[in-house]
Amino acid sequence: MKITDLLNKKGINLNGKPGTKQEAIDQMADLMDKTGNLTNKEEYKKAVEAREEEGTTGIGDGIAIPHGRSKAVKKPGLAAMVVKEGTEYDAMDGQPVNLFFEIAVPEDSANEHLEMLSRLSMMLMDGDFRKNLINAKDVEEFLNIVDAKERERFGEEELAQEDKNLNPVEKAVMDVNEKEMNLRQESAEQDLPYLLGVTACPTGIAHTYMAAEALENAAADKGFKMKVETNGSGGTKNLLTPAEIANAKGIIVAADKKVDTARFNGKPVIQVPVKDGISRPDELIDTVLSGNAPIFHAAGGESGGESFEQESESIGRTIYKNLMNGVSNMLPFVIGGGILIAIAFLLDDYSIDPSNYGSNTPVAAFFKAVGDAAFGFMLPVLAGYIALSIADRPGFMPGFIGGYIAKEGIIYTDGTVQASTIGVSGFLGALVAGFLCGYLVLGLEKLFDRLPDSLQGTKPTLLYPVFGLLLTGLCMIFIINPPVAWLNTALSNGLASLGGGSKILLGAILGGMMAIDMGGPFNKAAYVFGTAMLADGQFDIMAAVMIGGMCPPIGIALASTFFPNRFTQSERQAGITNYIMGLCFITEGAIPFAASDPARVIPSCVAGSAVAGALSMAFGSTLRAPHGGIFVFPVVGNPLMYCVALVVGSLVTMGCLALLKKPIQEKSKRASNAVA
């Protein structure tokens, strides 16, 4: 059935102006009613709204394809609307929607709406086609553009068959056969992958890509093509398309932060920590191929009620993923701002005005001002993205403002609202604000669900922002900020008052934690603590944390170079790359070695990292940037002795490995299951 046969001129509006998602649904239902396809507009609209509750039909790129199957539909039909200025529709990519196609299907019909969805999705992937539709001068031109594209995409012969005078049974059979043929053709033309994956880690630097490579390689070994989407520090790469998702046998989500899973509704999905994607890809793929992967239901869907993520993850892991979503989005502000501030001190002249160090010269003042601007957004971004992870977009603004209130230390005291005299709640306050605002907004969503349908459209544009912000302000200023500010000030003062021996012990503990699980909870706890102390001016702690993360891969690389008989040939080859990974502060380079021999490798790495962290504290080294490895050494405080600490810590790891690992006999090397 051709798309142009389903479109009625009365059901096309080229100048739509809905202000909200609900208004768009209402206007599309009015258009569908004008086509004569409905017996009861309100009943059909309820079917469309029910489908939206399962997951948005705003598929991105300015497109929405709402649809409903209902007994109020007499025959299949299409309606279309162009919104030139765009309108909010909760689309998957968060962007406004300019182009609506709505599908109406009778309740007792076959899966005709799937055929229409398939055709529309394929055609609308063409950006020029979308642009031409939006710019169509009249309805006639709009229909001609659709007809031309449909003939170009599906061919004259195939469409010509549908002009035959077939009875309804023949038509239904032809539609089913055509659907199957189109899906096969689409799969062949696009070479669609059989398996899909998504990987993401909080920093988006190493685990993300290591898990992706492990999954792709494991699938290739089993003879299957797999595409993995990576949510790394440089943004989302290899984005999974709707056609690929529809075609896939199953999806593996290996992530330690929140990723978009609503698009996988109804598909077999496995969700695991990112480290499982690295360490057990074969097991995950076998689970999908065996058909034992659970079917994912987006939250609020009809089947199962709860989402797969809610069913399978503990409360602790859910909190961890929400926290890491905030940390991963905060890091660019901390890294960029911290390095620019460090450069400002490097270029400034202390003798001009010690009290204004960092801004005495014009060049230094420039770097300091820009760096301070980035640092100023660090805590609001942290809180905002934690709240976003919990409550989706309605939680972002209240969380962001909650983080700002924590940063400024605003409290109610002496009958007025003002900056706290006891200090700011800082990083701890922003953490509390993020979780508080996220769950406050979830509570508001449940409360406002009881509103009549006529007010549903006001929720995202009026009710959530106003009441979310109001409750955030009341809670933060009157309840959260005063005690957390006191606690944060006490913690900072306590760290500042630590003597030499205490700081050395703290450096050893933090350095050792960086090597215990190399990117896991211990590692991330030490790293988050280091970045938190940056905001409070404790720069020596971050220095100990980073050097503790650099030692494991460098120590392993040294051991594989100077004690090669302790390693297989493949391990020695991998050891060379660990020099680079260690110097770049990518602790994850040590994971394959730790996985193959944890009893010897992990203690050796912890020992070297603890020594390096302790020496960094003893030498008084400081670091204002939470990442960068050797590339930020020029802006490290006391850089020469910092290098000494790195060398000594790496040598300790190398020595421990040499003592603990036994020489491998040449004949048994091939039997060793080491990592390339």
- Helix, strand or coil, per DSSP, at residue 9: strand
Residues 637/553, Cβ–Cβ less than 8 Å: no
How far, in whole angstroms, is CA 14 from its chain's centroid?
A: 35
CA distance 529 to 427: 9
CA distance 367 to 337: 9
3-state secondary structure 582-634: HHCCCHHHHHHHHHHCHHHHHHHHHHHHHHHHHHHHHCCCECCCCCCHHHHHH
Q: Which has the closest alpha carbon to 227: 272, 187, 182, 273?
A: 187
CA distance 527 to 542: 8
Compute CA distances 601 → 262, 556, 664, 668, whole Å.
40, 8, 15, 20
Residues 661/597, Cβ–Cβ less than 8 Å: yes
Query: Structure tokens of 344?
Result: 């400002």
Residue with tokens 């669900």: 449
By annotation, the residues acting in catalysis are 67, 201
CA distance 443 to 244: 35
Query: Structure tokens of 535?
Result: 């905001």
CA distance 529 to 538: 10
Q: Which has the closest alpha carbon to 110: 34, 186, 177?
A: 177
Residue with tokens 């790394």: 232
For residue 494, the 8-state DSSP code is H
HSE (side-chain half, CA atoms, 13 Å) at 518 = 28
Centre a 10 Å sphere on the Cβ of residue 143 and count the other Cβ atoms it contains: 18
Q: What are phi and psi of 58, to 5 degrees?
A: -80, 100
CA distance 408 to 145: 55
Residues 41/157, Cβ–Cβ less than 8 Å: no
Strand 195-200 vs strand 250-255: parallel, antiparallel, or unpaired? parallel
CA distance 615 to 116: 67
* Residues sharing a CB contact under 8 Å with residue 257, sequence separation 6 or more, in sequence order: 200, 201, 202, 231, 321, 324, 325, 328, 389
Residues 625/635, Cβ–Cβ less than 8 Å: yes
Sign of the alpha-carbon dihedral angle for 137, 140, 142, 144:
negative
Residues 506/617, Cβ–Cβ less than 8 Å: yes
Residues 477/417, Cβ–Cβ less than 8 Å: yes
